[in-house]
Every structure is written in C-alpha cells, then in structure tokens.
C-alpha cells in the first residue's frame, strides 16, 4: 500500500469530515475571488461617479461581511479537517503498538528500540500532517488557483491572463527538481533522528554501567556527534523545503511585471478599465497562496512518503509467531518435548539437539547444566517466543501451537532471571497478573515470595514506587516481586528461569519451601525450575542435565548423585562453596 492509497482509504472512512471541509473551503475560495471583483466594480463606479452615500457604504459592508464569513469558515474547516487527521495518527500508532505486541523475540533482535519509538512519534506525525495539512493546502490551493485563473481569464481579460501565466512553467520545472531532493533529505532526517533516539534510549537504560566504567565523556561525545548529524540532516531538509519559496517569488515577480506591462498597454488603448486592472492585480496577489501551497503540499507529501516508507515494512512485517490455534480448552495435563532440535535465527549451531523429556501434571521438573547448555531455550520454546523447527512440544494431547497464544500464555506464569518491573507501585507490579486482587491477596503472594518483610521496611510499604524498570529495588528484590506476581494467579504451569539467582541461600530455601506448600495445596499445578544453583532443584520430582543442547543426565536428585557425573561433581563443588561462605 502506498501513502496515497493509505490517505485515500482514510479519507473514504472519514468522508463526512473531509466533505464538510471541502464545502467550507469552496465557500472561502468563492468569497475570496468575489472580493477583488467587488472592489474593481466599486473603483470603476467611483471613477464614473455612479456610486456614493448609502450605496457605497452598503457595497463596503458587503466586502466586510464576506471577510467575516471567510474567518468563521476557516475556523470551521480547521476543526473538521484536523480532528479527522489526528485520528489517522492515533490509528497508525495503535496499529504499530498492536503489531509490535504480537511480534516474537526474533523480530526485536533485528530491530532497534529507539528506531521503533521514532516510528511512533516523528514518522507517524509526518503521515498525520500529510492527511491534514497537505490535504487542506492541496485542496484549498487547487480550488483557489482554478477559481482565480477562471476569474482572471473569463471575468477580466484572457489576453492579460495568458501573458501573466507565461512564467509558470518555470515554477513547475523547479518544483519537480526540488521535490526529489526534499524526499531524500526528509528520509535522511528521519533516519538520523531514529539513530539519535536509539542512542538516548540505550544511554538512559545503561546509565549506571556508563558511570561505573567512567564512559560518560565518550557517551556524551557520541551523542553530540549524532545530534549534530541529525541537526545537519534536518537543516538540509529545511533548506530544500525553503527552495520552493524563491521559485514562487521569481515566478510571481515575473508575472507581476508582465501584468503591469501588458495591463498598462491595454488601459492606454482603452481596452481595459483601471478597475479591471486593479481587480486583476488583486487576483494575481491571491495566486501567492496557491503557489506556496503547492510547495508546502509537495514538501509534506514527500516527508510523509519517506515516513510511510519506514513505517510500512514494520506494520506489514510477517509475524514471527503465527497465532493460528483453534483449541478453545485450557491447556492441561503433561508437557512433553519430543525429539526437539532448534537453532536461533541467523545461527547454524543447534541450541537444542534431539531433546526429549516429559513433565507430568503436578510434577516439578528441574533443568540444570553449564552456561549455554540450552536451559532458557527450553522455556522460550514452551512460551512460543520462538517456533519449533524439528520435533514438537505437546501440552496434554495437543501441540502447543494448536492453542491460541493468549490461551497458552494465560496458562503459564513465567519469572525470568531479569524480570521487568513497570514504573508503578510495588503493589501494582505484583497485581499485574491479577488486577482484581485484593491487598490481602497481594500481601499473601509477597509472603510466599519472601519479599513481604522487605516491602514493609520501605517508607510507603506496598505503595512505594519502584521507579523506571524497578531501579529502586535490588536484583533479588525484583526477582521476588516477580515471583509474587506469578504466585498471585492459579495458572497450571509455573516457569522459573533462574529466578532465584540473585537471592541468598536462606531466602531461596524459604521460597522453595513456600512453593512446596503451594504445590501440596494445588496438586494439579506443574513447575519447571531452571537454575545454575542445584539446591533450587534438589527437591524436584525429576531433573534433567543439559550440555550444549544435549540431555546428558536425568533422574531424581539421589539418582543423579549416584551417577557420579556432571550433576554430582557440581553438587559437591557448590556444597563446599556454601560451607566456605558460611565459615
């Protein structure tokens, strides 16, 4: 879909607003061209001494009333037109948000967050202006130009009109040349703003790391360079847009000279009255707006085309995860991986190789292994953040892609190693999974996650704001808030992806004990715990050990210790490490 098709579709949807604006603009243009003709008649009548007294006052009052009508009509069409065009900006931003919310992790690995933010701000604004300002200026300019030329040709003198229009082909040629440069400069300006936006987003997100490494000056220098590049690109775009004005000025100056020369000749030979020449000169003045409008419209359309060229691929990008599930029942029963092999996009190395295991309903599965073994990949595939490539994942008797994404994810509570907290109160962050939860339920979930005592030490308790991304909380506190959030609902599957890595062993023991009690109260609820710390999975019903995507050991805690393999050696090492820390 091109920008013009998008605007055409939008205008058809809001045809009432655009039609009302067109009618009011037509009346404005009509009154505008009637005023010079009226003044010309008044001048001729006064020269011939045929007008005076009350008749003159009435004629002048008519001109004033037409001016007042133009004022109110201009206010009216602005209210109609811009109210409609703002809806396009809102629709585009909503479409972008909805599309991004449906995309999978693979999509965001290829996109810059700052660039996506710029699409929803600068680029959407540029398209909105094309639907509002450009539509207004285009329609008004074309209509005014047509009516003024018609009055100059048919209402005054066609010979003078023909002579006056001789410089206009030069302006058309200049506009064509300038338009190409405006498009390229606008595109470059939008892209450089995106880079600047991306730099700001990354700098603010990583400001503590920059300070810790003493990189503030280098970051500031990078920002200054990007800001300078963005300013230069914007200035270049503005310069080319400003080039329309000289082209209009040269054309109208030449047209004015021809009007005076040819008009004086016609008046000298009594082929035109002074009043008609005055009216013609006023009409020529009224061509200033259509000419400037043409440049303004072309500038806005080219900027809109450049913005749409950046926004459209994101809006039309294929979804990485297809939501085609038809099963309307909730996922229940065992979770099973069958001969699953998987490689991340743009990688040839397999993250998982022919992996098979089963988690019965109500069981707890522990997944352990060295860094890069594929533990978190198992969680991501179960959440359908990535599609399976070889093999399948079953939940109950159906493949997980047979369930609608919303239904599948509602059945899972997931706590990541680095949980995301919103800039809201602690209570609001915990209640995110269950907005209807009471304060007592929120406090109970916090007690299960061993975070209640920490919260009560804050000055505002559960109403304490956590700041951007939970900046006011420690890593362990953020993890426990996220665990409390997960425990506030009764989803049949709980996923802990190294979610206890930032808490001490005593707190970990308390949380695991509370989870065991919760399991006993809800025997149908399953859990998968991924952890580097083996103590977190020691009480699991079944444990699997991964290395380089391959299942190398499995069994209960005691069975794995008896194997004297990776699990047993790692357990001994971690127990010795814990004893040394305690000493």
Region 38-57: what's the mean pLDDT?
69
Strand-pairing partners, residue 395, are 335, 398
Q: What is the structure's pLDDT at 315?
A: 85
User: Are the C-beta atoms of residues 501 and 531 closer than 8 Å to each other?
Assistant: yes
pLDDT band at 53 (very low <50, low <70, confident <90, very high): low
User: Are the C-beta atoms of residues 496 and 508 closer than 8 Å to each other?
Assistant: no
Comma-separated ranges of CATH 3.40.50.300 domains in the chain: 327-411+495-501+530-583
Which of the residue ranges 44-48, 310-314, 492-496 would you say has the lowest mean pLDDT? 44-48
Region 71-85: what's the mean pLDDT?
78
pLDDT band at 459 (very low <50, low <70, confident <90, very high): confident
Q: What is the structure's pLDDT at 559?
A: 92
* 3-state SS, residue 551: strand
pLDDT tens for each residue of 227-277: 888 888 888 877 877 777 788 778 778 887 887 787 787 778 777 777 777
Rounded-to-integer distance, Cα 73 and Cα 475, Å:
61
Rounded-to-integer distance, Cα 542 and Cα 559, Å:
10
Higher pLDDT, 442 or 472: 442
pLDDT tens for each residue of 127-152: 888 887 777 777 777 777 777 777 77
Rounded-to-integer distance, Cα 325 and Cα 331, Å:
12
- Rounded to the nearest integer, the mean pLDDT of the chain is 82
pLDDT band at 52 (very low <50, low <70, confident <90, very high): low
Go through the chain and tell me how many residues it has: 583
Phi, psi angles (nearest 5°) of residue 187: -60, -45
Q: What is the structure's pLDDT at 355?
A: 92
User: Of all helices (H) and strands (E), which one includes residue 420?
Assistant: none
End-to-end alpha carbon distance in the chain: 69
Which of the residue ranges 13-22, 81-90, 279-288, 333-342 would you say has the lowest mean pLDDT? 279-288
Q: Does domain 327-411+495-501+530-583 have CATH number 3.40.50.300?
A: yes
Rounded-to-integer distance, Cα 56 and Cα 59, Å:
5
- Superfamily name and number for 3-315: ABC transporter type 1, transmembrane domain (1.20.1560.10)
Q: What is the structure's pLDDT at 339?
A: 92
Q: Which residues contact 523 (CB under 8 A, 6 or more apart)?
A: 362
Which of the residue ranges 52-61, 261-270, 401-410 would you say has the lowest mean pLDDT? 52-61
Comma-separated ranges of CATH 1.20.1560.10 domains in the chain: 3-315
Tokens of 19: 């039609």
Region 92-117: what's the mean pLDDT?
80
Question: Global pTM?
Answer: 0.68
pLDDT tens for each residue of 298-341: 778 888 888 888 888 888 888 777 788 888 888 888 899 999 99
DSSP-assigned letter for residue 463: G
DSSP-assigned letter for residue 343: -
User: Of all helices (H) and strands (E), which one includes residue 352?
Assistant: strand 352-359
Per the listing, tokens 């579709």 go with 9
Rounded-to-integer distance, Cα 270 and Cα 541, Å:
110
DSSP string for residues in 367-411: EE-STTSSHHHHHHHHTTSS---EEEEEETTEEGGGS-HHHHHHT
């Amino acid at each position: 879909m091109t920008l013009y098709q998008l605007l055409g579709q939008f205008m058809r949807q809001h045809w009432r607003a655009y039609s009302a604006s067109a009618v009011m603009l037509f009346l404005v243009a009509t009154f505008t061209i009637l005023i010079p003709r009226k003044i010309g008649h008044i001048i001729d009548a006064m020269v011939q001494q045929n007008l005076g007294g009350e008749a003159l006052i009435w004629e002048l009052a008519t001109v004033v009333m037409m001016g007042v009508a133009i004022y109110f009509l201009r206010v009216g069409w602005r209210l109609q037109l811009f109210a409609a065009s703002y809806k396009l900006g809102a629709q585009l931003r909503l479409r972008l948000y909805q599309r991004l919310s449906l995309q999978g992790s693979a999509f965001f690995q290829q996109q810059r967050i700052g660039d996506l933010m710029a699409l929803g701000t600068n680029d959407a604004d540029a398209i909105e202006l094309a639907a509002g300002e450009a539509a207004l200026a285009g329609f008004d300019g074309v209509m005014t130009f047509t009516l003024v030329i018609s009055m100059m040709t048919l209402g005054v003198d066609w010979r003078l009109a023909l002579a006056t229009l001789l410089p206009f082909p030069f302006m058309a040629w200049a506009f064509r040349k300038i338009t190409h440069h405006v498009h390229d400069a606008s595109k470059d300006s939008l892209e450089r703003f995106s880079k600047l936006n991306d730099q700001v987003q990354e700098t603010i997100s990583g400001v503590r790391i920059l300070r810790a490494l003493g990189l503030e000056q280098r970051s500031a220098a990078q920002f200054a360079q990007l800001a300078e590049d963005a300013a230069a690109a914007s200035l270049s775009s503005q310069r080319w847009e400003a080039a329309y004005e000289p082209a209009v000025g040269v054309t109208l100056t030449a047209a004015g000279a021809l009007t005076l020369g040819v008009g004086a000749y016609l008046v000298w030979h009594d082929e035109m009255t002074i009043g008609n020449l005055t009216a013609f000169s006023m009409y020529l003045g009224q061509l200033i707006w259509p000419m400037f409008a043409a440049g303004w419209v072309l500038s806005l359309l080219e900027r809109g085309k450049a913005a749409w060229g950046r926004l459209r691929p994101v809006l039309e990008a294929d979804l990485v995860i297809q939501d085609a599930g038809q099963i309307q029942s909730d996922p229940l029963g065992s979770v099973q991986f069958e001969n699953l092999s998987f490689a991340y996009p743009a990688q040839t190395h397999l993250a998982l190789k022919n992996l098979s295991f089963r988690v019965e309903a109500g069981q707890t599965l522990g997944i352990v292994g060295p860094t890069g073994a594929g533990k978190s990949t198992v969680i991501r595939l179960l959440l359908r953040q990535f599609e399976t490539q070889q093999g399948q994942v079953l939940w109950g008797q159906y493949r997980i892609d047979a369930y609608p994404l919303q239904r599948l994810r509602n059945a899972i509570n997931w706590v990541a190693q680095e949980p995301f907290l919103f800039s809201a109160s602690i209570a609001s962050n915990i209640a995110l999974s269950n907005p209807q939860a009471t304060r007592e339920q929120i406090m109970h979930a916090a007690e299960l996650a061993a975070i209640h005592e920490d919260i009560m030490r804050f000055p505002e308790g559960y109403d304490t704001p956590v700041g951007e991304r939970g900046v006011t909380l420690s890593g362990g506190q953020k993890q426990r808030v996220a665990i409390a959030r997960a425990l506030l609902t009764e989803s049949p599957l709980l996923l802990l992806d190294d979610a206890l890595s930032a808490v001490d062993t005593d707190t970990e023991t308390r949380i695991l004990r509370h989870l065991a009690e919760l399991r006993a109260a809800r025997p149908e609820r399953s859990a998968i715990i991924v952890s580097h710390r083996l103590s977190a999975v020691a009480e699991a019903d079944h444990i699997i050990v991964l290395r380089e995507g391959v299942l190398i050991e499995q069994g209960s805690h005691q069975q794995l210790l008896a194997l004297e393999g990776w699990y047993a050696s790692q357990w001994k090492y971690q127990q010795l490490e814990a004893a040394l820390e305690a000493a």
